[in-house]
């Protein structure tokens, strides 16, 4: 005689029976679906399989299309980035070329002004480029690329289209020479007030401005008067612009205190004209001055 089943054994049998029953039902439905035809004449099983596979294919196609679109956008963005980099490089090159062309145009304009100045100077002249500067609070000099080999000697006048620059000092080397700027504290030039013909000597004042000494308190000098070279120093040709009077005061002694702003911007000088033939003879300071360089 068999022993009765325990509750645990009964529960185990039930647990095994449930899945088996579900499996049997599914198998039965599957078997029926393979035998029953739908309205289209295809079995239910085939229709079900076709629908499932179709949905899988649709999802796969959607995923593939989305991934392709994302990749395409990524490739396009990479292409745009590379194109932007190329265009930025081209713009930088064009800007450099523009600066070069602008520099050449400005140099051409300055050289034309130098040629115009040369036509107003009766003495033989030589164009030169400034290649170095030595500016301190006491001494103001520059170096030009012309020297003894080009016929440059000490005390030759140096001009620019704006006016008087200074004079050659020391003994030039074969291919270079030092020029003492007119604003140097040790520089001096014979000068005239262009309007009234009052004479004096222009000297460097503070390394930036000029001072006109030995101008009589009785002389007619006004703010705004143009100061030109007198030629009495035998260095600078007569009639070339030195600067403009910016302040006039009556002095305690015999002479006025006259402050002059230079016509030349010494900080931006690049090309100058060296006068190879200094003034040979004293000239009459009261005679009409030659036309300045403007």
Q: Which pLDDT score is estimated for 286? A: 47
Q: Which pLDDT score is estimated for 268? A: 85
User: Which regions of the chain does DSSP assign to beta strands (E)?
Assistant: 125-135, 140-144, 157-160, 163-169, 177-181, 188-193, 199-204, 210-213, 226-229, 241-249, 257-262, 271-275
Q: Which pLDDT score is estimated for 284? A: 52
Q: Which pLDDT score is estimated for 90? A: 80
Q: Which pLDDT score is estimated for 199? A: 93
Q: Which pLDDT score is estimated for 236? A: 92
CATH fold of the domain at 125-275: Thrombin, subunit H (2.40.10)
Q: Please tell me the pTM assigned to this model.
A: 0.61
Q: Which residues of the chain have pLDDT under 70?
A: 1-22, 24-54, 56-57, 63, 68, 100, 103-104, 106-107, 111, 135-138, 278, 280-294
Q: Which pLDDT score is estimated for 69? A: 72
Q: Which pLDDT score is estimated for 253? A: 86
């Amino acid at each position: 005689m068999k022993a009765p089943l325990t509750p645990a054994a009964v529960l185990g049998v039930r647990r095994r029976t449930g899945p088996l029953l579900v499996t049997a039902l599914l198998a039965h439905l599957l078997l029926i679906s393979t035998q029953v035809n739908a309205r289209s004449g295809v079995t239910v099983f085939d229709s079900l399989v076709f629908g499932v596979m179709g949905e899988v294919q649709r999802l796969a196609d959607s995923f593939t299309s989305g991934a392709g679109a994302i990749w395409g956008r990524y490739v396009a963005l990479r292409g745009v980035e590379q194109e932007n980099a190329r265009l930025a490089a081209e713009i930088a090159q064009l800007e450099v070329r523009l600066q070069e062309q602008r520099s050449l145009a400005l140099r051409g304009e300055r050289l034309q002004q130098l040629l115009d100045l040369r036509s107003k100077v009766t003495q033989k002249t030589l164009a030169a480029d400034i290649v170095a500067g030595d500016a301190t609070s006491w001494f103001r000099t520059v170096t030009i690329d012309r020297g003894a080999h080009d016929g440059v000697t000490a005390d030759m006048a140096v001009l620019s289209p704006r006016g008087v620059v200074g004079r050659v000092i020391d003994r030039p080397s074969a291919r270079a020479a030092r020029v003492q700027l007119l604003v140097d504290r040790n520089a001096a030039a014979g000068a005239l007030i262009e309007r009234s013909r009052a004479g004096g000597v222009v000297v460097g004042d503070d390394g930036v401005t000029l001072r006109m000494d030995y101008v009589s308190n009785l002389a007619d000098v006004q703010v705004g008067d143009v100061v030109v070279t007198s030629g009495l120093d035998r260095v600078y040709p007569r009639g070339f612009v030195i600067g403009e009077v910016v302040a006039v005061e009556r002095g305690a002694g015999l002479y006025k205190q006259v402050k002059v702003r230079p016509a030349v911007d010494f900080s931006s000088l690049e090309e100058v004209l060296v006068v190879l033939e200094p003034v040979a003879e004293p000239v009459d300071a009261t005679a009409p001055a030659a036309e300045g360089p403007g």
